[in-house]
Amino acid sequence: MTDAVSRQLFERAQQVVPGGVNSPVRAFRAVGGTPRFIASAHGPYLVDADGNELVDLVCSWGPMILGHAHPEVIAAVRDAAGRGTSYGAPTQAEVELAEAIVERTPVEQVRLVNSGTEATMSVLRLARAATGRDLVVKFAGCYHGHVDALLASAGSGVATLSDAAALATPASPGVPAATTAQTLVLPYNDRAAVTAAFAEHGERIACLVTEAAPGNMGVIEPGVEDGEHFNAFLARTCREHGALFVSDEVMTGFRVSRQGQYGRDGVEPDLMTFGKVMGGGFPAAAFGGRAELMQLLSPVGSVYQAGTLSGNPVASAAGATTLRLLDDDVYTRLDRSADVLRSAVAEVFTEVGLPHVVQSAGSMFSVFFTPADVDRVPDYATAQRQDTAAHAAFFHAMLDAGVYLPPSAYEAWFLSTAHDDVALSRIVEALPAAARSAAAVTTA
Ligand code: PLP
């Protein structure tokens, strides 16, 4: 399989774009080699600039749940674009998209924005304004976009219980320490750490923000203890301390069920964020909550939030059409495809003696290249025990066989309704040789 044109484009790109990409993971740094430049896509396939057809398990990092270039979505986009692409004034399309979100989720009102980052950034401002408090709690390994306050990793002592309330350190140069000093980072699934942090700082905590089911350190399953779901525990703890519970459903929203993770655990957050699927492949995202909270936003209230392209008519048409096509049947099919792949991976990895853990939230799942003594990955620290060299070998062998996986060991694999038996067979057939490549380099 040649990648000569991708190489040329990558050379050119690196002259004019930092690292040759507009979002870091696309650069293949974690797996090495040259990123594929994509020329087109249809159904479950990407076609790269060299004309190679690849089965796509990234799906634009989640949004393309109906597959690429779905005829009804494209028709809606063409129709909307033909009437003009942005007006800077309200439209029927954005009302329809907002109604579709409100109908599926516990939020009463939403504000549309352009990216998940914007949604979480705005939700923090709203939570702080609503509570008159400054501190924000997040979990290590959860990603909420490149918002300063949430681009924080745990300081060395934060993961221990006694230091559970230690303040976070910035995860990137340029993030002011003063900003992340308002952020507490805790280990995911660790109820004792959450309880301790709230016991010490509860009166100063504006909100706790969590991925509804984490997918950005690989897929981590929220635990259930004494019949209580982790999200229910978080909601209860926030309530007890007058803090707001914020569920980030940018990744899980409308993907893991018609109602997102909310449809699976039934826990009602105070505020929610959405993105990816609801934009139908366009830049669109949203945040929402009870009307009483959302009414604090300008122009009704005084919490400022705005956007030149927010509620863009083309993006809204793509998003509303996508949501309309997502009936319960879609999720049954996605779950079935995910089952086929999960079982195939587990079987092949076991056959070649490659230690692994497969975890899922609905059809969203990931394969951890963890050592043999790990049988569950509950948090980021465990996810970090992965053999990234084995993952890189597996990734490249799959790519050579025409399967495009996430180029990082810390990402979910995404499926679409367009992944039919033919596409699934191509993936399954590529697995044994790729697993053997990984087994050959693993140190486990
Ligand atoms: N929140 C979650 C859970 C995400 O997965 C992401 C992106 O992957 C974001 C927020 C940020 O969204 P965006 O990349 O659209 O800014």
Secondary structure (DSSP) of 356-409: -EEEEETTEEEEE---TT-----SHHHHTT--HHHHHHHHHHHHHTTEE--SST
Q: Which atom of ligand 1 is nearest to the CA of 116?
A: 12
Tokens 């040649």 belong to residue: 2
In the three-class reduction of DSSP (H, G, I as helix; E, B as strand; rest coil), residue 275 is classed as coil
Instruction: Tell me, using a 6 A CB cutoff, whether residue 170 lines ligand 1.
Output: no
Closest C-alpha residue for ligand 1 atom 7: 145
Provide the annotated active-site residues: 143, 248, 276
- No. of helices (H) and no. of strands (E), the chain: 14, 17
* Separation of CA 250 and ligand 1 centre (Å): 6
Buried b (16+ CB within 10 A) or exposed e, 234-265: bbebbeebebbbbbbbbbbbbbbbbbbbbbbb
Instruction: Tell me, using a 6 A CB cutoff, whether residue 150 lines ligand 1.
Output: no
Closest C-alpha residue for ligand 1 atom 10: 144
Return the structure tokens found at 397: 């062998």
d(CA 298, CA 318): 26
Closest C-alpha residue for ligand 1 atom 1: 144
Secondary structure (DSSP) of 283-345: S-EEEEE-HHHHTTBTTTSSB----TTTT-HHHHHHHHHHHHH--HHHHHHHHHHHHHHHHHH
Instruction: Tell me, using a 6 A CB cutoff, whether residue 117 lines ligand 1.
Output: yes
Q: If we measure between CA atoms, which residue out of 268, 260, 198, 200 comes closest to residue 229?
A: 268
Contact 161/192 with Cβ under 8 angstroms? yes
Ramachandran category for residue 189: left, alpha or beta (phi over 0 → left; psi -120 to 50 → alpha): left
Contact 421/413 with Cβ under 8 angstroms? no
Q: What is the pLDDT of residue 101?
A: 98
Tokens 């956007």 belong to residue: 307
Indicate if ipTM > 0.95. yes
* Separation of CA 98 and ligand 1 centre (Å): 19
Q: What is the pLDDT of residue 160?
A: 28
Instruction: Tell me, using a 6 A CB cutoff, whether residue 122 lines ligand 1.
Output: no
Q: What is the pTM of this model?
A: 0.96
* Separation of CA 145 and ligand 1 centre (Å): 5
At the top level of CATH, the class of 71-325 is alpha beta
Return the structure tokens found at 384: 């970090």
pLDDT in tens, 259-310: 999 999 999 999 999 999 999 999 999 999 999 999 999 999 999 999 999 9
Residues of the chain under the 50 pLDDT cut:
154-166
d(CA 193, CA 258): 32
Domain ranges of the chain: 71-325
Instruction: Tell me, using a 6 A CB cutoff, whether residue 406 lines ligand 1.
Output: no
Instruction: Tell me, using a 6 A CB cutoff, whether residue 216 lines ligand 1.
Output: yes
Task: Choose the residue to mutate in 143, 231, 414 for probing ligand 1, maximizing ligand atoms within 8 Å of C-beta.
Answer: 143
Sort 232 into a burial class: Cβ within 10 Å, 0-12 / 13-18 / 19+. middle
Instruction: Tell me, using a 6 A CB cutoff, whether residue 120 lines ligand 1.
Output: yes
Q: What is the pLDDT of residue 173?
A: 86
Q: What is the pLDDT of residue 164?
A: 40
* Separation of CA 100 and ligand 1 centre (Å): 20
